[in-house]
Copies of this chain bind each other. A is one copy, B any other.
Amino acid sequence: MINFEALFKISYGLYIVCSGDKNLGNGFISNTVFQVTSEPARFAACCHKNNFTSGFIMDSRAFSVSVLKRDASSEIFGRFGYKSGKDFDKLAGMDIRYGDTGVPVVLNESIAFIECRLDQTIDLGTHLMFIGELVNAEILDNTKEPITYLYYRQVKKAVAPKNAPTYINRSKSEVKPMVLFSKYECPACGFIYDESAEKVKFEDLPEDWVCPACGCGKTDFIKIYQ
């Protein structure tokens, strides 16, 4: 028996994994970053094959990981977690440092970062696991705690985007009640669009409608049953 709720008991942090160079780069929000060996210190990061950052990591053969602070904003999750770098330059206007390997490191809302040189790439079907040797590690703000995935889910009421290793397809895993009105949840900030309160069906909203709280696109919203 698989109770998918049990999977939320596994602890994760939340990070911006970034790659590329001074000309072009991209980053995405990841919860699966972890140290896999101590001598040498090596880290793994999982990335969906469709993810725009995957190609940058393979080309640059390096990646950076910025550790987001506990009170990181919905805007940073919206920008790096629920939008694609294929559509706009995620790094434009951000506070970026370039590491020893040349990859960009996002400093905004981060308390520390690590930088790794790619060692191995493991094919996991839908995802790639990148394993890299640590070349750089710095603390940016020692007064703040890192955000955890549990805190993000419980306090920010957010859910994993479709490309995340921990994404759960709720339409499959939950019984759908018969309702005339539905609610739709912003995956980035947890904003609830309630059809019964708004008197406009979600599907009738214009295609360029965005989350009033964080600007996340309409197509990212997830139908919820409560």
Contacts and interface: CB of A to CB of B under 8 A. Distances in A.
Indicate the size class of the contact surface on chain A: 35 or more
A47 B131 CA distance: 16
Contacts of A120: 122
Interface in A113-131: 113-114, 120, 122, 124-127, 129, 131
Nearest to A40: B125
16 contacts: A1-B136, A1-B138, A2-B134, A2-B135, A4-B41, A6-B67, A7-B134, A9-B111, A10-B67, A11-B149, A32-B35, A32-B36, A34-B165, A36-B46, A37-B126, A38-B167
Counting every copy of the chain, the complex holds 2
Contacts of A3: 137-139
A174 to B, nearest CB: 15
A131 B113 CA distance: 26
